[in-house]
């Protein structure tokens, strides 16, 4: 038994409107619900995993705002028994590039327990107000995935998250307060926050090392080998990450779901973008064992195993 993917959707910012983290998440969530033929009122839990926002905003929490925007239920969260089922429970969960997989694991536990019947994970990032010309470019993108419990053997069945704290200083980001200098106007504040992102040399190499080690340890715990994985779905955490990892794991290129070019550079949306590529190609529905992988600052590596029955099909986003 496992958590089944009802639909997944990832998209880049629309050039005709200002890309905001809230709007990108809203659009992706609505599109995902439409693809699955579900109503916003059907969603019992909504988790937002987006990290970077316009103007480097840290508050308010976006999940409740997204819940309201898409028309999900207000009121008390569901009780799991079908009585008094009137509210959608929503909250933010921040775990960087690994946030989507962490949120799927959280919702899987509640789906398994019967506390919720339909859950969604939404993500979005836009370039913040960065301090320093060396900061990496971040593509505005949003994503959403719908999850439902399935009594068949198909679905997400196993998860693993490993952190390698010895490399935590290779990628750091945070807000820095800067006082406004000189004479201020009557409506000008005393200063503003700017996002500082520092990526040290060697980050990519260590990211690949840690992802390989975590993958082998996870599969070994499950009694599987790399040869048992029919499809590798890696989130493109940083440029040039996927191919070195594929080579280190000795996974043939035709067993890798590559994220399309327009979604490369997405951050928290990366795992959803990779899953969308796997669904659109039809390979997720054909694979018995699919490994979803994300790696980012920490260094943290998150993995999830998705078992797929040959006759079970996931929503085809190409239609």
| pLDDT at site 318 | 39
Q: Of 219, 251, 192, 215, which Cα lies nearest the Cα of 54?
A: 192
Residue 294, Cβ density class (10 Å: 0-12 exposed, 13-18 middle, ≥19 buried):
buried
Instruction: Name every residue whose Cβ is closer than 8 Å to that of residue 13 and which is 6 or more positions away in sequence.
Output: 19, 24, 126, 140, 141, 142
| pLDDT at site 316 | 45
- Expressed as residue numbers, the domain containing 86 is 2-152
| 87 within some domain | yes
| 186 within some domain | no
Q: Provide the residue-wise pLDDT of the chain in tens; the chain has 319 residues.
A: 689 999 999 998 765 567 788 999 999 999 999 999 999 999 999 999 998 887 666 667 889 999 999 988 876 655 554 444 567 899 999 999 999 999 999 999 999 999 999 999 999 988 776 555 555 567 889 999 999 988 776 799 999 999 999 999 998 887 777 776 666 666 666 666 777 888 889 999 999 999 999 999 999 999 999 999 999 999 987 888 999 999 999 999 999 999 988 888 788 999 999 999 999 988 998 899 999 999 999 899 999 999 977 555 454 443 4
Can you list the alpha helix ranges (DSSP code H) found in 132-225? Answer: 203-221
| 136 within some domain | yes
CA dihedral over 103, 108, 114, 116, signed as positive or negative: positive
| 198 within some domain | no
| pLDDT at site 183 | 67
| 275 within some domain | no
Q: How far apart are CA 197 and CA 303, in angstroms?
A: 25
| 40 within some domain | yes
Q: How far apart are CA 29 and CA 139, in angstroms?
A: 18
* CATH number of the structural domain spanning residue 147: 3.40.47.10
| pLDDT at site 57 | 64
| pLDDT at site 83 | 47
| 89 within some domain | yes
| 10 within some domain | yes
Number of domains in the chain: 1
Token digits of residue 47: 């988790």
């Amino acid at each position: 038994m496992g958590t089944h993917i009802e639909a997944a959707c990832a998209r880049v910012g629309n050039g005709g409107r200002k890309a905001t983290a809230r709007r990108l998440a809203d659009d992706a969530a609505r599109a995902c619900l439409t693809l699955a033929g579900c109503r916003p009122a059907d969603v019992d839990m909504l988790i937002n995993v987006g990290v970077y926002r316009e103007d480097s905003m840290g508050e308010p929490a976006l999940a409740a705002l997204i819940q309201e925007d898409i028309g999900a239920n207000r009121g008390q969260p569901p009780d799991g028994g079908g009585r008094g089922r009137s509210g959608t429970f929503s909250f933010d969960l921040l775990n960087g590039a690994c946030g989507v997989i962490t949120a799927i694991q959280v919702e899987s536990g509640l789906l398994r327990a019967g506390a919720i019947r339909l859950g969604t994970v939404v993500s979005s990032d836009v370039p913040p107000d960065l301090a320093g010309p060396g900061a990496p470019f971040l593509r505005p993108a949003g994503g959403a995935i719908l999850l439902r419990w399935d009594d068949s053997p198909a679905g997400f069945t196993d998860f693993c998250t490993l952190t390698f704290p010895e490399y935590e200083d290779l990628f750091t980001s945070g807000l820095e307060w800067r006082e406004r200098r000189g004479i201020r106007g009557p409506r000008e504040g005393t200063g503003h926050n700017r996002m500082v992102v520092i990526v040290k040399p060697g980050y990519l190499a260590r990211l690949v090392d840690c992802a390989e080690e975590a993958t082998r340890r996870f599969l070994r715990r499950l009694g599987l080998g790399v040869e048992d994985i029919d499809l590798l779905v890696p989130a493109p955490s940083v440029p040039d990450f996927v191919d070195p990892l594929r080579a280190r794991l000795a996974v043939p290129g035709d067993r890798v779901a590559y994220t399309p070019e327009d979604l490369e550079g997405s951050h928290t949306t990366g795992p959803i973008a990779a899953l969308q590529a796997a669904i659109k190609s039809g390979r997720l529905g054909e694979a018995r064992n699919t490994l979803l992988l994300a790696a980012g600052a920490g260094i943290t590596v998150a993995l999830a195993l998705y078992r797929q029955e040959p006759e079970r099909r996931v929503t085809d986003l190409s239609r």
